[in-house]
Amino acid sequence: MSIRWRLFISHTTMLIVTLVLFLISALLIPVAITGDIRSIKDLYTRQYALKPLTKPEENVFLDVKYLAKKQPNQLLNQTMLKQYDQKLDSVTSGLIIRKGDKIVHSSKILNSIKDEKKLPPFEPENIKVRDTISIDHQFFLYVKFDFYFPNQEKGSVIIMREVSPFVELSRSLFPLIFGLLFLSLILVNGLLSYFVSKSIIKPLFSLKNATEQMGEGNLNVKIEYDRQDEIGQLNYAFDKMRTKLKESIELQLQYEENRKELISNISHDLKTPITAIKGYIEGIQDGVAESQGKMDRYLSTIKRKAADMDQLIDDLFLFSKLDLKKIPFSFEDIDIIRYIFNFIEEIGFDLEEKDIKIFVENRTENEVRVIADRDKLRRVLSNIINNSIKHMKKVEKQIEIYIQGKADFVEIEVRDNGSGIEQESLPYIFERFYRVDTSRNKSTGGSGLGLAISKQIITEHGGDIWVESQLGVGTSIFFTLKKTI
């Protein structure tokens, strides 16, 4: 559940609870004041605030009170009293006339009251004229007027109405009930506020602690985000940011390590031909090359070493631009089979001079078209074939190219019968400056960047490149290109 809904429900619940408690309190106030649960319908009226009687009761009470003062003997007239009883029946009230110690008249609704001693006591001052009274486990609300008959005998007129025991209980316990309701309101509000704030503040504190630890360099701190609300989404986004930041820093450190390794490799690979060039130049200066033939040999070596340096710098420049994604690719739809045959035709003369046989086998049935950059793909094929040439030490040198059609791509295999590669070296041959020859000598030539460049180019084509080799038998380098849809 989202925090928005959680807050909405909690506030709505709080409002409903408040309104209910307020309504209960408002209903209890007139009951407690009047002692009559039916008085709720006359809430806040002037009549009930001053005289807790219904209109028929009030009219009858005023009439009998007047008679008690002016003509008390009329209160013994049964015909007139029955008329009053009929008026009180509509509000389920009754009239009792007491004379001396006897009940001389009682409405039918009050027939259960037989004992005069249980009635309110005689009080000529008429101070306590309204109250509730319990008679035989029944509660009655009454209003009375005490007077004297002409013969000075005590007399009372009492209008009574039975009320629920709950009315009297509410009236007597009103302060306690009101206090409990008020405390309940505070308690419910406090509990709702506590649990809602806890569900928000606790994860925010966890996020704060995680932020502080990250600020101190600890990027391994784990942030829980198993919730589905906004807090959970925030924690998820923050943990994702932490992971990305960690990966970025690790990648940066790896880049820094690679940069140091690259500088070391460049320094080593440049130092070797420079040292050779310096040596031959010093030999020329010292007069070691005393013959023209020796001089020509020295100059040829210097030229070859300079060419190696130039090739290394060109490869390094290309690799760096590929690594930084700064070389544009011109992809187009090409016939891969015709493209490879044309490429082999171009390099065929150079291979013949080195006594290397090369042939292509097309294992596809139909014309296969792929999306590729012609120049970059030529560089890939040249690097792979040149790498094969460098490691061919057999009498019969041979390179085979196989074209195999797959579902969505074309697989091209370049196989040679060279010296092969040890299994432990296979995972590293596409790394820059990696050479199977651990002595890192330059006897076979090359910059050590050819296959690394090839991998970057194939990756940019959306393909894959890998190697299989058997020591002493030969090496196969595979790469894939996407077919034209």
Alpha helices, H only, 216-289: 230-285
Task: Examine the pLDDT at 479 and tell me if it is beyond 90.
Answer: yes
Task: Provide φ and ψ at 361, rounded to 5°.
Answer: -120, 120
Model confidence at 233, pLDDT cuts 50, 70, 90, reads confident
Question: Mean of the pLDDT values across residues 444-470?
Answer: 83
pLDDT digits (tens, 9 = 90+) for 346-355: 988 888 888 8
**pLDDT of the residue at 444:** 47
Q: Rounded to an integer, what distance in angstroms lies between the CA atom of residue 262 and that of residue 99?
A: 125
Task: Examine the pLDDT at 52 and tell me if it is beyond 70.
Answer: no
Q: Rounded to an integer, what distance in angstroms lies between the CA atom of residue 258 and that of residue 281?
A: 34
Question: In one letter, which amino acid is 236?
Answer: Y
Task: Provide φ and ψ at 237, rounded to 5°.
Answer: -65, -40
**pLDDT of the residue at 165:** 65
Task: Examine the pLDDT at 7 and tell me if it is beyond 70.
Answer: no
Model confidence at 138, pLDDT cuts 50, 70, 90, reads confident
**pLDDT of the residue at 284:** 84
Task: Provide φ and ψ at 408, rounded to 5°.
Answer: -115, 5
**pLDDT of the residue at 17:** 77
**pLDDT of the residue at 48:** 40
| 33 three-class SS | helix
In sequence order, which residues have a C-beta less than 8 Å from that of residue 431 and are 6 or more positions away?
452
Alpha helices, H only, 354-477: 374-390, 450-460
Model confidence at 464, pLDDT cuts 50, 70, 90, reads very high
467: enclosing H helix or E strand: strand 465-470
Task: Examine the pLDDT at 235 and tell me if it is beyond 70.
Answer: yes
Q: Rounded to an integer, what distance in angstroms lies between the CA atom of residue 82 and that of residue 108?
A: 10
Task: Examine the pLDDT at 381 and tell me if it is beyond 90.
Answer: yes
The percent helix, strand, coil of the chain (3-state, each to 5) is 55, 20, 25
Average pLDDT over the chain reads: 80
**pLDDT of the residue at 253:** 82
In sequence order, which residues have a C-beta less than 8 Å from that of residue 254 and are 6 or more positions away?
none
Contact 442, 304 (CB under 8 A): no
Model confidence at 403, pLDDT cuts 50, 70, 90, reads very high
> Cα angle at 233 between 230 and 234, to 5 degrees?
85
| 50 vs 88, residue with greater confidence | 88
Task: Examine the pLDDT at 441 and tell me if it is beyond 50.
Answer: no
**pLDDT of the residue at 439:** 43
Q: Rounded to an integer, what distance in angstroms lies between the CA atom of residue 313 and that of residue 310?
A: 5
**How many CA atoms, within 13 angstroms, populate the side-chain half-sphere of residue 467?**
25
**pLDDT of the residue at 377:** 93
Task: Examine the pLDDT at 358 and tell me if it is beyond 60.
Answer: yes
Model confidence at 372, pLDDT cuts 50, 70, 90, reads very high
Helices and strands, counts by H and E, the chain: 11, 12
| 402 vs 321, residue with greater confidence | 402
Question: Mean of the pLDDT values across residues 453-467?
Answer: 91
**pLDDT of the residue at 225:** 66
What token pair was written down for 50? 């001053």
Question: Mean of the pLDDT values across residues 139-151?
Answer: 90
Give me the percent of the chain exceeding a pLDDT of 90: 19
User: Poorest-confidence range of 110-119, 168-177, 419-428?
Assistant: 168-177
What token pair was written down for 408? 């969505």
Model confidence at 344, pLDDT cuts 50, 70, 90, reads very high
**pLDDT of the residue at 271:** 77
pLDDT digits (tens, 9 = 90+) for 247-305: 888 878 877 776 676 677 677 667 777 888 888 888 888 887 778 888 888 888 888 88
Alpha helices, H only, 324-413: 336-353, 374-390
pLDDT digits (tens, 9 = 90+) for 20-50: 777 777 677 666 665 655 555 554 443 444 4
